[in-house]
A and B are shown apart, each in its own frame.
Chain A
Amino acid sequence: AQSVTQLDSQVPVFEEAPVELRCNYSSSVSVYLFWYVQYPNQGLQLLLKYLSGSTLVKGINGFEAEFNKSQTSFHLRKPSVHISDTAEYFCAVSSTGRRALTFGSGTRLQVQP
């Protein structure tokens, strides 16, 4: 079985400040890792994904994430956030044995002016 834990349900941050959204996973097999964003009243949109290779993954809108196998983490970072980054962020995992995504419970990023 696989699971995803997002340690922070809400993260308030001021505009132009850096942010890190934490994600830890558990799985007995090799995994693929994803971050999705859900803007208010919109569907889920892929931010970035880790499949293999370089552990630092760059995504859209200036976001990046680092895969750390020893710590089973895949934290999402952005060096300077904008008001428009206010949204719900979901970490998700799949594996060769389970094609469906297992999601964390989400982190609400609230960017304040």
Chain B
Amino acid sequence: QSVLTQPPSASGTPGQRVTISCSGSSSNIGSNYVYWYQQLPGTAPKLLMYRSNQRPSGVPDRFSGSKSGTSASLAISGLRSEDEADYYCAAWDDSLSGPVFGGGTKLTVL
């Protein structure tokens, strides 16, 4: 049981816009930044979004992040086949004194 809640799966067709949600509580998302990670099959996770809505260098602007209250979301516009991956949200949890992850969302590009 993950501290942050994500839908287990999401899907879209090429060119579409998809959104992945991440729900937490006041001790994590409600009071700290959210980070998003992309994990392609068989590889290590890669930082996709930091401080809730900032893209690291090299991440396409098709990816965007937002946070409101105790929830956050990752949006991917102009969906491409190479976006097919697992996506994880993460945030520091003040009660646990450590970072917590969502259970991950498997994105399928139809």
A and B interact: no
Q: Residues on B close to A: CB < 8 A?
A: none
A-side residues, CB < 8 A to B, are none
